[in-house]
Amino acid sequence: MRFSRTPLLALALVGTVVALPALAQQSASSYPPGCDASKVSKSDVERAHTVFLSGKQFLEESNYEKAISYFKDAYSIDCSIHAILPIIATAYERKGDKGEAVHALEEYLRRAPSAPDHEVVERRIRNLKDQIARDQAATPQPTAAAAPTATPTPPPAASAEPTATASPAPPALNGSEAPSSAAASQSVAPWVVVGTGGAALVAGVVLYAVGAGDVSTAVGVCGTARQCPSASAESQGNTGRSLETVGAVVGAVGVAGVALGLVWHFVDKPAPSSSGTLVTPVVAPGYAGLALGGAF
């Protein structure tokens, strides 16, 4: 008894068509899907940070392949820290792969649409794309070989008088030899101030939160009348108040630093520079620093 193979082939074709969008989406990005921080356990956060520090060490040793591998592993463990993508872009850029650096930065803009450094990252993408275009323009393109032409035999000279020999014209400069003006780029100092201010702001928030927790615990033990049954509870409340004050001061300094850096950036005149690399300030829970420096 013979069975028709047409239904089986139809089912296989339908399965292939259904799987194609998923395969295309997977190949379009080499990074794991992003997630919310609430879905990442504390142990995964700590493990991701440890793996990140190993990648940072490799980045400082100029071992970019291993640094990129460790950074991607850290992102796979804690898929909520999208701020690691600009650091991966820095590793790719130092490696010389500007295309993958652009890919990582564009992925960051898609996954962190409300991040405060969008303008900086967009400018960094434009600079990288300009460098890629210049590199492609400077690469000589192969041209078809011209067909050999027969050289006519010159007629014999009519007289024995010497004739003046024309000097050859100087060769024309091609596009790669023409002098090019250096691209103007702004000073990185304002972004250093912004990054430092952001780190201070995060530190102030953390100190204030810890102090508020201590005060809340002490109030729960001592009551609103502050009649503490033990000296330790009273000491905890006083320490909490101090931490709140210090956190508020440090946070205010951080806000002032961020504001000062941004104002400095907008009033600063661009200085000539041959590179379009920008320093990207990154502030994320548990990580703070500059993307170009290999920390976030």
pLDDT in tens, 233-276: 778 778 878 888 987 888 788 788 878 878 877 777 554 444 44
CATH topology of domain 32-136+272-296: 1.25.40
Domain ranges of the chain: 32-136+272-296, 186-271
Please determine, for residue 105, whether its predicted confidence score (pLDDT) is greater than 70.
Answer: yes
Q: How far apart are CA 218 and CA 257, in angstroms?
A: 33
Q: Which of 29-43, 113-127, 236-250, 258-272 has the highest mean pLDDT?
A: 113-127
The mean pLDDT of 71-86, rounded to a whole number, is: 94
pTM: 0.44
- Position 150 confidence tier, pLDDT thresholds 50, 70, 90: low
CB contact at 8 A, 200 and 184: no
- pLDDT value for 206: 82
Tell me how many degrees the CA angle 127-128-134 measures, rounded to the nearest 5: 90
Distances (CA, A) of 35 to 31, 81, 87, 146, 237: 12, 9, 18, 59, 37
Mean pLDDT, residues 164-179: 45
Q: What's the pLDDT score for residue 17? A: 37
Residue 5 in this model has a pLDDT that exceeds 50: no
